Amino acid sequence: MIVLLKSNLDEASPEFQQTFSFLSQLPGIEVRLHQVRGAEQVLSEIYLIGSTKRLSTDEIATLPGVERVVRVSEEYRILGRHRDDRRAVGFEYNGVTFSQDTLNVFAGLCAVDSRESVEAMMTALEENGQPCTRMGAYKPRSNPYSFQGHGKTCLSYVFELAGRHGIRVIAMEITHESHLDEIRTALQETGWPTGVLIQIGTRNIQNFELLKAVGRQNDFPVLLKRGFGITLNESLNAAEYLASEGNSRVVFCLRGMKTHLGDPHRNFVDFSHVPVVKRLTRMPVGIDPSHSVGSRDRAPDGILDIMHVTSQGVAAGANLVLVDFHPDPQKALVDGPQALKREELPWFLEDVRLARECYERRHRLARSFQDTAPTPGGLTGV
Amino acid sequence: MIVLLKSNLDEASPEFQQTFSFLSQLPGIEVRLHQVRGAEQVLSEIYLIGSTKRLSTDEIATLPGVERVVRVSEEYRILGRHRDDRRAVGFEYNGVTFSQDTLNVFAGLCAVDSRESVEAMMTALEENGQPCTRMGAYKPRSNPYSFQGHGKTCLSYVFELAGRHGIRVIAMEITHESHLDEIRTALQETGWPTGVLIQIGTRNIQNFELLKAVGRQNDFPVLLKRGFGITLNESLNAAEYLASEGNSRVVFCLRGMKTHLGDPHRNFVDFSHVPVVKRLTRMPVGIDPSHSVGSRDRAPDGILDIMHVTSQGVAAGANLVLVDFHPDPQKALVDGPQALKREELPWFLEDVRLARECYERRHRLARSFQDTAPTPGGLTGV
Amino acid sequence: MIVLLKSNLDEASPEFQQTFSFLSQLPGIEVRLHQVRGAEQVLSEIYLIGSTKRLSTDEIATLPGVERVVRVSEEYRILGRHRDDRRAVGFEYNGVTFSQDTLNVFAGLCAVDSRESVEAMMTALEENGQPCTRMGAYKPRSNPYSFQGHGKTCLSYVFELAGRHGIRVIAMEITHESHLDEIRTALQETGWPTGVLIQIGTRNIQNFELLKAVGRQNDFPVLLKRGFGITLNESLNAAEYLASEGNSRVVFCLRGMKTHLGDPHRNFVDFSHVPVVKRLTRMPVGIDPSHSVGSRDRAPDGILDIMHVTSQGVAAGANLVLVDFHPDPQKALVDGPQALKREELPWFLEDVRLARECYERRHRLARSFQDTAPTPGGLTGV
Amino acid sequence: MIVLLKSNLDEASPEFQQTFSFLSQLPGIEVRLHQVRGAEQVLSEIYLIGSTKRLSTDEIATLPGVERVVRVSEEYRILGRHRDDRRAVGFEYNGVTFSQDTLNVFAGLCAVDSRESVEAMMTALEENGQPCTRMGAYKPRSNPYSFQGHGKTCLSYVFELAGRHGIRVIAMEITHESHLDEIRTALQETGWPTGVLIQIGTRNIQNFELLKAVGRQNDFPVLLKRGFGITLNESLNAAEYLASEGNSRVVFCLRGMKTHLGDPHRNFVDFSHVPVVKRLTRMPVGIDPSHSVGSRDRAPDGILDIMHVTSQGVAAGANLVLVDFHPDPQKALVDGPQALKREELPWFLEDVRLARECYERRHRLARSFQDTAPTPGGLTGV
């Protein structure tokens, strides 16, 4: 059960104190305070966890400072969509908005290999008006003897170059909670020239200790990659770990599933789940076409599979695209064969734009058939 | 190895006789004659099967009546794309063209339940200018005690109504070779008012005897549904069974794969393989969004998942859409929950049109980036 | 609902007539007569299909000639286990008993390649006291250009040699209903020197027309291979197709599932389902270690994986082992790499014997812990 | 490449210094020293990682102090089996031997819920002469709101009771590197009354930072559960992370794979891979029947599926069995439905004994067929 408090209610106020105290004394109920900082106001929500079935929402709604009470289903309490759920969807970070209505492209390097590559990539992004990028410093590799990324040694120049080229948000994977400090430190030392969207990879989707550590901080929002070998339900529960610890600024990213049924693609592309995740949760939904496809194969129409599946995700409403580029794919230390080339960036961006335009037209079309569409705010099939 | 003969070469001609006789005497080589009837001419191809590695294409090219010799890889000899392969892609049937460049929508009934339903559906199709439909008479069901379709008893009125409403091609599944005769007989008795695209379902993908029987006839082209539990390679080999027996007018249809990783969809939507099948073979590629998704769930944007995944397939170049409608889904005997409603047909068709337009723009865009695209007729990444 | 009639009740008797007539007039109920011929008597069962919930078992039990009435659950009506189900398990064919308590080994040739191979194999079987074998005449192959088996041309010598070497039952796959006639004809022409256990392969598990055709005859019992890409539930429903048409003498055979998770084995060995199938149905359960493992790899203990997984199936109670041998695996036309060698037959049989002895000891042990085991005839966990 | 040094060679000796110095100066080669402490001696191995193809094993073998040089394949360098590999298999810990020839049963609590349960369980184990157990203190749960285990608060009484009841090794899962310290501290405070086998769960199989942390310590050996959604190859590479950091005392544990193809079992039982892991690596191989099966269902023979699959693993040579018991399964906080009951322990142990006896007989049988078995120490099929 979620108790939404009136906006900007001070924790020291008697209303807050009285309500929080009352709720804390309910037997068999754990109470967690969760604060969402928006652009202009702070929203406080109190989560009641445990045997809430016998609680009366009407009674709790009469407590001082309470705006509204939402009874949530068992799953995805914080990030999920629930009946009569009018909580906000999405967030803003360092000037970039992430929601179920927006689209941001994060083109960049799968793994940072040299300052030259970073500079070349960021120059290309600036030339193409792109404020976001991906840059991998910590790389989890299946084989212990493979290149594991440059780690913290590359952070300073990555952040400096980002600032110089107008990059506002960098998606960067971490594999250990200590990397949070390393990133924070490097940002401080370089004067916070950019923002970081902390990425948690598919192999760590059920590394609950890492999820909890990232969930406990609020400096950075999170991009969580779906687990490639578990059910969607289990991956969404993993996202909920982040939120249950306090950080609900989470983008959920599809990246292909591990099964031979997807051959010859590296993974079975799962972008048909874009509308599903938007229906089940309030998270913006990203797609990673590079790791899904894993090659530069192209159809007889001359279009790369990576671009085809990107357009599939975007045409169905995806909100973020994470894609590997490299100034010289032959020399990339990780996943070179699947990287797009720097000179393909304008094509890729224009291709994405066409797919997004298609989605927007389809959305307008759906609204024009209002009688068959659900009433605003309501949801069917949940 | 494929020996393409000059067009309209008569089998009784001395050139043909001499060449065929020579090839038939090659040791360890099986010879199969394959004829492709186009709109204006008949193309004859001779397939050489066996240890062809030691044969010389140059030598065979000098035989009388030979136009060209293509050395094919082991897999998908007839339906596949091969190096320097300039054979035709696609075919025309009863006034409708099927190729890797066209798009045809087959909206209709998963299972014929009554004459009234068929009439209602076909009226709707005619009102919306649709010349194709799907109508299921023979239904393979997992449980032996479930409704198995009306079978041949419904064929006459289905075909008559089709003729009356301007339907030119009906996709219809068969589960036994005797159904071919039943369909042929019913068409004859009703004066061939329409055409039939014989559909082979996913459960019969490796029913090789059925594939061979359907491959041996040339009255009807074939729509082959991908196997939901085998690899793409194995499904494409199954298509080759049709062609190896003489019928290469085959549309290959994606319909979702059977794995829990696709939950909550009924199957794991596999439309990311549209460009893959077009790259590996010369078959037109269809999609079946209804059986893939299996529900009427919709995203918060009001658009049904079935429509979202359709747009994904079409935006990447799909050539055929097979989709379940029903005048009254509540009363459908098979798969009612996933059927679209009759009144949603205009919306669905317009949604498809927007996605197709997106594909065409994307295709033009790719051509405008010619230097990075492959040269016409060539293929990379195969 | 199943109405079991008194044994040896004549169809022409007034009791039978009266009861059958009464049941046939029940509204919304389909009636099917099913006869099970045992060694000494004929049992007649009447299946009531449809909305049987409102029928009273007590009332029907009072009809003349009725022995007992069993209300069955929706699934696996005939072959399944149901509450208070005391119907017989297993059957006898040509002197060999197949039940959930027996064990028969079917060692033989995956594909008949020559008379010499058949003779060599059968000689080895006779020397080792084996009355059963497997012999493949019709081979379904993924690739249309692969060897498809010698078909009916080899049947006569296979059956003659079987008779000469004391083989009582040959497991033989068919892929088309016409093969039933070919086998019946060849047996007649050679004087029925042996029996045939008709095998339906994994690729035809949902070829319902073939299942129905095989179910309509009672000359031969059936070995049904589990589908390698569908759920166990779906495969058991396929077995029910055989029974619903009249043939309930079915052995259900596990043969490994198709998923990369089983690598490096050719298929994911599924013999852990031996107790599951015995719990859900009354069918004897077979295992096919050769196709499951697909190689001759062996562990550091010197034992082949094929033998290890065989012992796993048998130690848990498997009732039939289908295993590929070949006098000269290098020369086998199909699946040579996985065939055991003729000289390994005594070792294999002794290894199976040790595993079977282990199962029997384990079974006795379970009975000695009676208080925790279920009461005889009862089942838990269904 | 692995350079095995003479036993008990002192690191300060001139032989060691000279050899290590030479190897360290090889260009493009990373050098890692790895020490294996056996009962009576210390073995030192130097791992050469990088482009070792151009190195000469003969040349390196002539360096002072070198016993032998083994060129290893790319994968599983330390834990794998390689040609001419005569390195030791297995290890001894706190009086218990773990190798590919031994068998140890770890019956115990999936999750510690109370001191009473722990005491009841350990009393039962002592009565049945068992020196090992499993005790879960840190539980990774898919849902963040589920019970997560008592953590460090229960360690003291678990260890004390273990010491009092003669338990020598407790398998205990950790989910964070800090748990190592908590366990070490609790052992110190209680006077090291028992040993701990650190368990890493299937969800952390690619949590490489945790693997590295556990690999860096040598106080505790490790039980690594196979990843339930990745290939066997990837899971074995994860084990190699432990070894590459210095800890090669690793037991690899099969626990069922996550796919609907294993239904109705909770996971698809994968114990057919017991011989595979023994062939590919030198690790002892464990099985976890409880999490694989996930229920107390039993076959008509009265034997629980959990016991059937256990016997399958053991009959094929498994070296460790991890199994859930509970004094009162109804009250278990985690996975109660799959727990065996305390009174079933003697039955379970006797059932395991019968299966082990079967394996030993099968092993003797294989040796008696020596001519077909591989020569001692050699391996085929790798």
Mean pLDDT for B176-198 is: 98
CA distance, residue D83 to nearest chain C CA (Å): 12
Worst-scoring range by mean pLDDT, A37-51, A349-363, B272-286, C175-189?
A37-51
pLDDT value of position B379 = 32
Give all chains having 3 or more CB-to-CB distances under 8 Å with chain B.
Answer: A, C, D
HSE, CB side, 13 Å, CA atoms: give it for residue C110.
27
Residue A297 reports pLDDT greater than 90: yes
In the beta sheet, which residues pair with residue D32? D47
User: What's residue D38's pLDDT?
Assistant: 58
Poorest-pLDDT segment among B68-77, B325-334, D218-227: B68-77
Question: Which residue among D77, D175, D227 sits closest to A209, beta carbon to beta carbon?
Answer: D175
Interchain proximity B203–C208, CB inside 8 Å: yes
For residue D136, what is the enclosing H or E element? none
For residue D294, name the pLDDT band (cuts at 50, 70, 90). Answer: very high
Residue type, C122: M
Nearest chain B residue (CA) to C147: B50
Mean pLDDT (chain A, rounded): 90
Interface residue ranges in chain C relative to chain A, Cβ cutoff 8 Å: 259-260
Closest-approach residue (CA) in chain C for A260? C260
Long-range pairs for A86-93: beta carbons < 8 A, 24 or more residues apart: A86/A377, A87/A2, A87/A4, A87/A282, A88/A36, A88/A38, A88/A43, A88/A282, A89/A282, A89/A284, A90/A282, A90/A284, A91/A221, A91/A249, A92/A38, A92/A39, A93/A169, A93/A195, A93/A197, A93/A221, A93/A249
Q: What is the structure's pLDDT at A381?
A: 27
Size of interface A-C (CB pairs under 8 A): 4
Comparing D239 with A78, which gets the higher pLDDT? D239
Alpha-carbon gap, residue C352 to D238, rounded angstroms: 35
Contacts of B169 (CB under 8 A, 6+ apart): B93, B94, B96, B104, B106, B131, B132, B133, B194, B195, B196, B197
B41 Cβ neighbours under 8 A, 6+ residues apart: B7, B8
Helix (H) or strand (E) holding A327: none
Q: Are D16 and D22 in contact (CB under 8 A)?
A: no
Residue of A nearest to C259 (CA): A260
Q: Which residues pair with A108 in a beta bridge?
A: A324
- Identify the band that residue C276 occupies on the pLDDT scale cut at 50, 70 and 90: very high
**Cβ-defined contact of A259 to B264 (cutoff 8 Å):** no
d(CA A13, CA B170): 71
Closest by Cα among C229, C220, C237 to C177: C220
- Residue for token pair 């090839």: B23
A100 contact residues in B (CB cutoff 8 A): 300
Amino acid at A72: V
Report the relative pairing of strands A250-254 and A285-287 from DSSP bridges: parallel
Contact D265 C273 (CB under 8 A): yes
Query: Is A261 close to B273, i.e. CB distance below 8 A?
Result: no
User: How many C-beta atoms surround the C-beta of residue B32 within 10 A?
Assistant: 13
Please report the beta strands in chain D, taking only residues with DSSP state E, as ranges in sequence order. Answer: 2-5, 29-37, 42-50, 66-70, 91-93, 96-98, 104-108, 132-134, 169-173, 195-200, 222-225, 250-254, 285-287, 320-326, 340-341
- The pair of structure tokens assigned to C318 is 């498997």
Rounded Cα distance between D288 and B278, Å, is 45
- Would you tell me how many other CB atoms lie within 10 Å of the CB of residue C121? 25
Q: Give the closest of B74, B145, B241 to C244, CB-based.
A: B145
Residues of chain A in contact with residue C260, where contact means CB-CB under 8 angstroms, are 259-260
Q: Going by C-beta distance under 8 Å and a sequence separation of 6 or more, which residues neighbour residue D362?
A: C303, C307, C311, C351, C354, C355, D315
Tokens coding B158: 């289905």
Residues of A in contact with B343 (CB under 8 A): 372
CA distance C331 to chain B (A): 17
CA pair distance B190, B207, nearest whole angstrom: 30
Q: Which residues of B touch C (CB under 8 A)?
A: 49, 74-75, 77, 140-145, 175-176, 203-204, 206-210, 227-230, 234, 237-238, 240-241, 244, 258
**Structural tokens at position A1:** 């059960």
Assess whether pLDDT exceeds 90 at residue D382: no
What does the alpha-carbon distance between residue D49 and residue D3 come to, in Å, rounded to a whole number? Answer: 11
pLDDT attached to residue D83: 65
Q: How many CB pairs (< 8 A) connect B and D?
A: 4
Strand-pair category, B340-341 with B320-326: parallel
- Listed in sequence order, the residues at least 6 apart from B137 whose beta carbon sits closer than 8 Å to its beta carbon are B111, B112, B149, B150, B151, B152, B154, B155, B158, B172, B173
Contact D267, D294 (CB under 8 A): yes
Nearest to D334 by CA among D148, D186, D158: D148
Q: What is the mean pLDDT of residues D167-188?
A: 98
Nearest residue in chain B measured CA to CA from C213:
B176
Pure H helices in C25-146: 57-61, 115-127
Minimum mean pLDDT range among A18-22, A125-129, D172-176: A18-22
Q: Which of A183-197, C147-161, C307-321, D65-79 has the lowest mean pLDDT?
A: D65-79
Nearest to B207 among C145, C204, C230 (CB): C204
Q: What token pair was written down for A247?
A: 């950080």
A261, A263, A267, best to mutate vs chain C, most C CBs in 10 Å: A261
B203–C207 CB contact, under 8 Å: yes
Comparing A298-312, B25-39, D97-111, D364-378, the range with the smallest average pLDDT is: D364-378
Chain D positions touching B260 (Cβ under 8 A) are 259-260
For B245, nearest residue in chain C (alpha carbons): C144
Interface list for chain C against chain B, based on CB atoms closer than 8 Å:
49, 75, 77, 140-145, 175-176, 203-204, 206-210, 227-230, 234, 237-238, 240-241, 244, 258
HSE, side-chain direction, 13 A CA sphere, residue B269: 31
**In degrees to the nearest 10, what's the CA dihedral of C277, C280, C283, C287?**
0
Residues of B in contact with C248 (CB under 8 A): none
| Average pLDDT of the residues in B315-342 | 90
CB contact under 8 A, A341 and B260: no
Model confidence band, residue B288 (pLDDT cutoffs 50, 70, 90): very high
The predicted model gives C285-308 an average pLDDT of 96
Residue identified by tokens 């005594």 is C346
- Which of D49, D176, D237 faces A142 most closely, judged by CB atoms? D237
Q: Which H or E element spans position A329?
A: none
Q: Measure in Å the smallest separation between the Cα of A242 and chain D Cα atoms.
A: 9
- Of all residues in chain A, the percent with pLDDT exceeding 90 is 68
List chain B residues with CB under 8 Å of A317.
299, 301, 303, 308
pLDDT value of position B378: 33
Residues of D with CB below 8 A from C299's CB? 274-276, 278-279, 317
Q: Residue length, chain B?
A: 382
Higher pLDDT, D8 or D18: D18
> Which chain B positions have a beta carbon within 8 Å of A315's beta carbon?
311-312, 315, 355, 358
Mean pLDDT (chain D, rounded): 90
Output the six-digit token pair for C337.
């790499």
Q: Give the pLDDT band of residue D239 (cuts 50, 70, 90).
A: very high
Q: How far is C276 from chain A (nearest CA, A)?
A: 24
SS3 for D220-245 is: CCEEEECCCCCCHHHHHHHHHHHHHC
Query: Are D111 and D136 in contact, with CB atoms under 8 Å apart?
Result: yes
Residues of D in contact with C309 (CB under 8 A): 272, 316
Q: What average pLDDT does chain C have?
A: 90
Q: What global pTM score does this model have?
A: 0.88
* Interface mutation target, options B301, B357, B380, chain A, most CBs of A under 10 Å: B301
Q: Answer yes or no: do A272 and B257 touch at CB < 8 A.
A: no
Q: Are C350 and C283 in contact (CB under 8 A)?
A: no
B216 vs B325: CA distance, rounded Å: 32
Summarize the confidence of residues C13-37 as an average pLDDT: 85
> What 3-state class would DSSP assign to B185?
helix
**Beta bridge partners of residue A321, listed in sequence order:** A105, A287
> Do the chains contact at A208 and D141, CB–CB below 8 Å?
yes
Nearest to C206 among B77, B203, B241 (CB): B203
CB B271 within 8 A of CB B287: yes
Give the nearest chain C residue to B147 (CA atoms).
C50
Asked whether A133 and A98 are in contact (CB, 8 A), the reply is no
% of residues, chain B, pLDDT over 90: 68
Q: Closest by alpha carbon to A137, among A115, A120, A154?
A: A154
What are the start-end ranges of the H helices in chain B?
Answer: 14-24, 57-61, 115-127, 155-164, 178-189, 208-216, 232-244, 274-280, 289-293, 305-315, 345-368
| Residues of A with Cβ-Cβ distance to C259 under 8 angstroms | 259-260
Place of tokens 């999405």: A90
Rounded-to-integer distance, Cα D323 and Cα D318, Å: 13
Pairwise pLDDT comparison (A85 vs C315), residue with the higher score: C315
Neighbours of chain A (3+ CB pairs under 8 A): B, C, D
Place of tokens 């339940």: B113
> CA separation (Å) from D22 to B127, D40, D53?
85, 29, 17
CA distance B314 to B317: 5
| ipTM metric | 0.87
Give percent helix, percent strand, percent coil of chain B, each to the nearest 5: 35, 20, 40
Q: Quick one: closest CA in D to C279, which residue?
A: D299
Distance CA A382, CA A366 (A): 19
- The answer to whether the beta carbons of residues B128 and B118 sit under 8 Å apart is no
